[in-house]
């Protein structure tokens, strides 16, 4: 079933929307959630929350944007759950390390205050990613979008962990310079 057909089901409040969403996106969203949470049960509970929230927010889902909407929900809900676990000191160190690395580069203590700022920042990061080679883009996205471990991103990029670490360090510096040229205060 196409995304637009699923969005129509949500708009019609047809319960088949959830089943179609699970069938099409469960594995993809699970990968995102498990990389953040590192726990199967938490990831599955998170996805249940994602599908429920998608149902409740059906009017906010637009044609052509279902996947992006679901990914955004999955990341937000997973990170919220991770923060809750943080209070209990049960966080996968690899995920926290990944989040801290990119947070220092992108936000530097200044958080965008409006949705427009967030969209502009996302657009700037996407333009930056467009300037990278396939290897560097895969490395960056794997580490900071999917929260894969340094070992994993190095393995699927076919490079050593040391090279992956130094390349990611340079990419964060390049991103900072790029964002400053785009007018973001870092």
Tokens of 81: 């759950």
CA dist., res. 102 & res. 169, Å (int): 10
Measured between its terminal Cα atoms, the distance across the chain in Å is: 43
Task: Walk me through the domains of the chain, giving residue ranges and CATH numbers.
Answer: 3-87 (1.10.1740.10), 93-181 (1.10.10.10)
Rounded-to-10 torsion of CA 118, 147, 75, 126: 30
| Spans of the chain below 70 pLDDT | 63-64, 86-118
Beta strands in the chain (DSSP E): none
Supply the DSSP symbol for 60. Answer: G
> Could you give the angle at the alpha carbon of 78 between the alpha carbons of 64 and 7, nearest 5°?
20
Question: pTM here?
Answer: 0.53
pLDDT of 92 reads 53
CA dist., res. 6 & res. 2, Å (int): 6
Supply the DSSP symbol for 183. Answer: T
Residue among 45, 43, 47, 39 nearest 73 (CA): 47
**Residue 109 in contact with residue 182, Cβ under 8 Å?**
no
**Residue 40 in contact with residue 34, Cβ under 8 Å?**
yes
**Inter-residue long-range contacts of 150-158, CB under 8 Å, 24+ positions, other chains counted:** 150/94
> Could you give the angle at the alpha carbon of 70 between the alpha carbons of 64 and 72, nearest 5°?
105
pLDDT of 111 reads 41
CA dist., res. 131 & res. 178, Å (int): 10
Residue among 60, 56, 32 nearest 46 (CA): 32
């Amino acid at each position: 079933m196409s995304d637009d057909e699923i969005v129509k089901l949500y708009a019609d409040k047809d319960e088949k929307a959830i089943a179609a969403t699970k069938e099409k996106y469960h594995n993809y969203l699970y990968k995102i959630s498990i990389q953040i949470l590192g726990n199967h049960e938490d990831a599955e509970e998170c996805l249940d929350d994602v599908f429920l929230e998608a149902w409740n927010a059906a009017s906010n889902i637009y044609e052509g944007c279902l996947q992006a909407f679901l990914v955004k929900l999955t990341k937000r809900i997973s990170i919220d759950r991770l923060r809750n676990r943080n209070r209990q000191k049960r966080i996968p160190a690899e995920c926290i390390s990944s989040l801290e690395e990119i947070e220092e580069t992108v936000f530097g203590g200044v958080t965008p205050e409006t949705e427009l700022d967030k969209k502009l920042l996302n657009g700037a990061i996407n333009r930056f990613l467009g300037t990278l080679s396939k290897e560097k883009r895969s490395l960056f996205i794997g580490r900071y979008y999917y929260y894969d471990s340094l070992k994993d991103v190095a393995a699927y990029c076919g490079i050593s962990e040391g090279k992956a670490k130094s390349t990611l360090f340079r990419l964060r510096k390049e991103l900072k310079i790029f964002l400053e040229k785009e007018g973001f205060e870092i």
